[in-house]
């Protein structure tokens, strides 16, 4: 089995840990979202939205815990979309030309870069969960040990598919554009509607109809649906409303993300096979 992609993976991970500013900002940013936005909005919602009726045995989730899944989605979104800048710099400084001229399969360039982006996403997710518990986020509340184990596996499966889809999308855009300034503009244009036209911060029922329709084809929405299912349970109260996720909804969300990752991989593979570096 060929493992040349590990070279690309290790190179990107070494750069991530050696550039202290990149490491610091990538780890601190999600914590700031939870600490500043999450806590302030959670206190506001306690005043604005009265607690709804409850059913014995079904937990009530506060806003900080509700939006923690959105912070995880936001962090993975930005981490993976900006991973394409690595390819952009490789093109600009001539490293891509050397990689394409080597025996290294072009698909391994994509796989290595994607694995490094996935690893960063998992590290950041663990930091968000750990720091969130300090602030009051309560994932896996009242879960049995066996259920926590299964939930963690399900959560990481959703992270895998979501991150890979974004990484392949970012690689495709990076390979097609000539400057990293243009890439940053496109990433900003993609990330804002993907994040805000989703259920990351608010329930879909509270969004305007046009944005709600956009959310139905938004991979962020399906990722967060799966994440909340595995971290909060299939039934809970929040915002004074009752939320219930069926197994059919979770399977559909999983298949949607699988399709998203598969399509973006095919586009990225087609693009890198056709790219010419002069």
Reported as a single tens digit per residue, the pLDDT across 24-66 is 777 777 777 777 777 777 666 665 555 555 666 778 888 888 8
Reported as a single tens digit per residue, the pLDDT across 208-255 is 888 888 889 999 999 999 999 999 988 888 776 788 889 999 999 999
Which residues are CB-neighbours of 68 under 8 A, at least 6 positions away? 34, 38, 128, 129, 132, 137, 139, 231
**In the block, which residue shows the tokens 């139905």?**
216
Reported as a single tens digit per residue, the pLDDT across 147-188 is 899 999 999 999 999 999 999 999 898 888 777 777 778 888
SS3 197: coil
**In the block, which residue shows the tokens 């001229």?**
101
Residue 174 and residue 270 in contact, taking contact as beta carbons nearer than 8 Å: no
pLDDT score of 256 more than 80 = yes
Q: Which pTM value belongs to this model? A: 0.88
Average pLDDT value for residue range 137-155: 89
- Please give the mean pLDDT across all residues of the chain: 83
Give the separation between CA 87 and CA 112, rounded to whole angstroms: 11
Residue 128 and residue 76 in contact, taking contact as beta carbons nearer than 8 Å: no
Q: Which is more confident, 143 or 101?
A: 143
Q: How many CB atoms lie within 10 A of CB 56?
A: 4
User: Could you tell me which of 273, 84, 101 has the C-alpha nearest to residue 168?
Assistant: 84
Q: Which is more confident, 100 or 164?
A: 164
59-71 CB burial, b ≥16 within 10 A, e <16? eebbbbbbbbbbb
| The predicted structure's pLDDT at residue 252 | 96
Domain ranges of the chain: 5-42+58-274
Average pLDDT value for residue range 92-100: 71
| The predicted structure's pLDDT at residue 192 | 85
Q: Which is more confident, 257 or 23?
A: 257
pLDDT above 90 covers a percentage of the chain that reads: 21
Average pLDDT value for residue range 75-81: 87
């Amino acid at each position: 089995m060929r493992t040349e992609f590990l070279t690309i993976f290790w190179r990107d991970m070494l750069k991530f840990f050696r550039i202290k500013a990149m490491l610091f900002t990538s780890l601190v940013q999600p914590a700031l979202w939870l600490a500043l936005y999450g806590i302030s909005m959670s206190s506001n919602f306690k005043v604005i939205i009265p607690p709804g009726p409850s059913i014995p045995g079904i937990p009530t989730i506060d806003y900080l815990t509700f939006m923690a899944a959105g912070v995880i989605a936001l962090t993975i979104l930005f981490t993976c979309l900006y991973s394409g800048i690595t390819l952009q710099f490789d093109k600009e400084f001539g490293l891509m030309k050397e990689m394409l001229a080597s025996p290294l399969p072009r698909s391994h360039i994509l796989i290595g870069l994607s694995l490094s982006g996935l690893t960063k996403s998992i590290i950041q997710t663990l930091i968000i969960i750990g720091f969130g518990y300090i602030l009051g986020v309560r994932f896996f509340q009242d879960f049995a040990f066996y259920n926590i184990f299964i939930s963690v596996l399900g959560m990481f499966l959703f992270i895998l598919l979501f991150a890979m889809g974004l990484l392949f999308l970012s690689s495709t855009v990076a390979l097609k554009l000539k400057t990293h300034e243009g890439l940053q503009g496109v990433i900003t244009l993609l990330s804002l509607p993907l994040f805000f036209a989703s259920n990351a911060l608010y329930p879909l029922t509270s969004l305007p109809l046009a944005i709600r329709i956009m959310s139905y084809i938004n991979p962020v929405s399906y990722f967060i649906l799966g994440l909340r299912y595995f971290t909060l349970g299939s039934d809970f109260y929040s915002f004074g409303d009752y939320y219930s996720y069926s197994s059919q909804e979770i399977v559909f969300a999983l298949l949607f993300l699988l399709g998203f990752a598969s399509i973006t991989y095919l586009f990225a593979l087609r693009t890198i096979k056709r790219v010419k570096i002069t």
